[in-house]
A and B are shown apart, each in its own frame.
Chain A
Amino acid sequence: MNAPPSQDPDLLRRLLRAKDRMDAASHEEWPVARLARVSRVSAAHFARSFKDAFGLPPHRYLLTRRIERAKSLLRDTDLPITDIAFQTGWNSLGTFGRTFRDVTGESPGDLRMREKAAKHALENVPHCYVSAAYRPNLNIAVSEKRRQEEDGKNEATKKEVP
C-alpha cells in the first residue's frame, strides 16, 4: 500500500471535525453528504480525503465506533442485547448480531459472558483511552472479512479430506 499523499492541514482539521461528530453520536446516521457539510467539502472529495487521512472509509470508521460502543455496553451494563443494538444505531437485531460477529469473531452474548467473567482494572485510565483500546481494528471491509473467513473454512474442510 502506498503512503497517503500529503494533505492540507486545514482540510485535515475540518475532516477531524467530522470524525469527532461521528464519535460523539455514532448511533446517528452519517451519510457522506452530512459529513461533507461538517467538513465543508464536496461529498466526492470528502470520502476520498477522509480515507487518506484516517486510513479507512468514513462508513467503516462509523462501524468500528458502533461496535466499540456496543462492546462497552455489553461489558458495563445489563441492558438487553436488543436495546444495545438499537441504542448503537442498528435498525435490526439480526443485522447487529451478524455484523458484530463478523467484526469481533464472537456473538454479542458470548462477548458479554466472557467480559463479565474477567474483571478489568481500568478505573484509572480516562474513559476515551479505554474505549480506544476496545475499538475493533477494522482494516478491511466487513464483506471482505466475511469472504476471507468463508475461504478459510473451505480450506480447513479441504485439508480434512484425506
Chain B
Amino acid sequence: MSQGVGVVGLYVRDQEEALQFYVGKLGFRVHTDAKNGDYRWLTVQHPEQPSFQLGLYAPGPPMLDAATAQTLREIVAKGAMPPLVLVVDDCRETYKRLHARGVEFTQEPVDRYGSVDASFRDPSGNGWKMIEARGAQ
C-alpha cells in the first residue's frame, strides 16, 4: 500500500510515560523519536501494522500557546478525546496479559454482537476500546 493515512496522533500528558505505556505495556514499537529543543516528535507502531504510525504528542510550544495547551491537557484528562479502537485476535487473553502489566481497564471483556470487547485507558486518559476481530477464533 502506498497511499492512505500514515500518522494519527494522540495528545498525552507526558511523552516518556506514554512511551512506557504504548511500548512497554501494549507492545507497540517506536517508529520515530526525534527531539528538537523542547519539541519531541514521537510515533509508535503496532508490530503488525507497518504502514500506520500512532503519534504521541505533548500539547505545548512551539505548536500551541500555553492556554491552549492547558485546555488540551484538561480535555485529555477528562477522557473527552475521540474514541480509539484496538483490534485483537483474542480479547480475553489480551485482557489478561495487559491487566497483569498494570493497564487500567475500565471494562472487562464482554460478549456482545458476535464479538468480545473490553475498554482501557492510557495514563493520560485516552480511552481505547479493545475489540476481538470477528471470526478470529
The interface of chain A, by Cβ under 8 A from chain B, is 6-7, 9-10, 12-13, 15-17, 19-20, 23-24, 53-54, 123, 126-129
With both beta carbons as reference points, the residue of chain B lying nearest to A4 in the complex is identified as B74
Whether A6 and B70, one on each chain, are in contact in the complex, defined by CB atoms closer than 8 angstroms, is yes
* B129 contacts the other chain (CB 8 A): yes
Chain B residues with CB under 8 Å of A16's CB are 77-79, 121, 125
A17 to B124, CA, bound (A): 11
Within 8 A of A (CB), among B72-131: 73-74, 76-79, 83, 85, 104, 106-108, 110, 112-113, 117, 119, 121, 124-125, 129, 131
Whether A13 and B83, one on each chain, are in contact in the complex, defined by CB atoms closer than 8 angstroms, is no
The interface of chain B, by Cβ under 8 A from chain A, is 13, 70-71, 73-74, 76-79, 83, 85, 104, 106-108, 110, 112-113, 117, 119, 121, 124-125, 129, 131
Whether A123 and B77, one on each chain, are in contact in the complex, defined by CB atoms closer than 8 angstroms, is no
Which of B74, B104, B108, B121 interacts with A12 by CB under 8 Å?
B74
Interface of A is mostly: helix
Chain B residues with CB under 8 Å of A10's CB are 77
| 27 residue pairs A–B, Cβ–Cβ below 8 Å | A6-B70, A6-B71, A6-B74, A7-B74, A9-B70, A9-B73, A12-B74, A12-B77, A12-B78, A12-B125, A13-B124, A13-B125, A16-B79, A16-B121, A17-B104, A20-B79, A23-B106, A24-B107, A24-B108, A54-B78, A123-B113, A126-B117, A126-B131, A127-B112, A127-B113, A128-B107, A129-B83
